[in-house]
Amino acid sequence: MTTLGYAILGLLSREDLSGYDLKQRMAGRVGYFWSARHSQIYPELARLEDGGYVTHSVVEQRERPDKKVYEITARGLDDLKEWVTRPPVPRPTRDELTLKAYSVWLADREEATRLFREEELRHEEQLAHYEGLRTWMEGEWREDLTSTNSPEFASYATLRRGISYEREYAGWCRWMADSIEGRGPTRVGKE
């Protein structure tokens, strides 16, 4: 079973979905740190059905094309549960911007500053978006977030990761831009 397979099962464990629905949820990286195109999703759904992890039923719609709605099976759910707590094999982190930083000593000062300022902005925007979601969740789901065995908690947990990831990234970009610009890094909090 591939990681994509588990990503799909993770979504289907919450609600029944069509391939198209899955595509929508995996387009943005909101909610979970994985993504896939429809060209990868459809064949994977076929494989999951082959293995008995999901089943589908055709739903006829008026004024819309028919769709195949997938449902997770008991076997799929068992496999998913087992996978959740299995330690992931550590995979090498690849980050092109950090790789660029490794050769930044060759670059033009101004152009390099611009690059890291732009990236800082990108991550701060993403952060602001996530913070908005967080506020909403903490208000709307106050009850659900008290128990860690609710899907709401799990969604909140991945969002927390998104927030700390973006904050960290934006902070590093700011430090880079400040350093290259020559102002000396602006200190915000400790490190």
Partner DNA sequence: ACCCGCATGTAAGTCGTTACATGATTCT
Partner DNA sequence: AGAATCATGTAACGACTTACATGCGGGT
Which of residues 50 and 95 has its CB atom nearest to its own copies in the complex? 95
CA distance 110 to 177: 9
Q: Is residue 88 a contact point for DNA (CB under 7 A)?
A: no
Amino acid at the residue 131: E
Is residue 64 near DNA by the rule CB under 7 A? yes
100 forms part of the interface with DNA (CB under 7 A): no
Q: Least distance from C-beta 90 to its own copies, angstroms?
A: 7
Q: Give residue 122's identity as a one-letter amino acid code.
A: R
Is 42 a binder of DNA (CB under 7 A)?
yes
- Residue 133 has a CB neighbour count (10 Å cut-off) of 16
| Cα four-point dihedral sign 96, 98, 104, 105 | negative
Query: In terms of Cα–Cα distance, which of 29, 25, 49, 50 is closest to 38?
Result: 25
Q: Map residue 70 onto helix, strand or coil.
A: strand
Is there binding between residue 39 and DNA (CB under 7 A)? Answer: yes
Minimum separation from the CB atom of position 53 to DNA (A): 15
Binding mask 141-160 for DNA (x = CB under 7 A): --------------------
| Interaction site with DNA (CB under 7 A) | 2-4, 18-21, 23, 35-40, 42-43, 45-46, 61-68, 91-92, 94
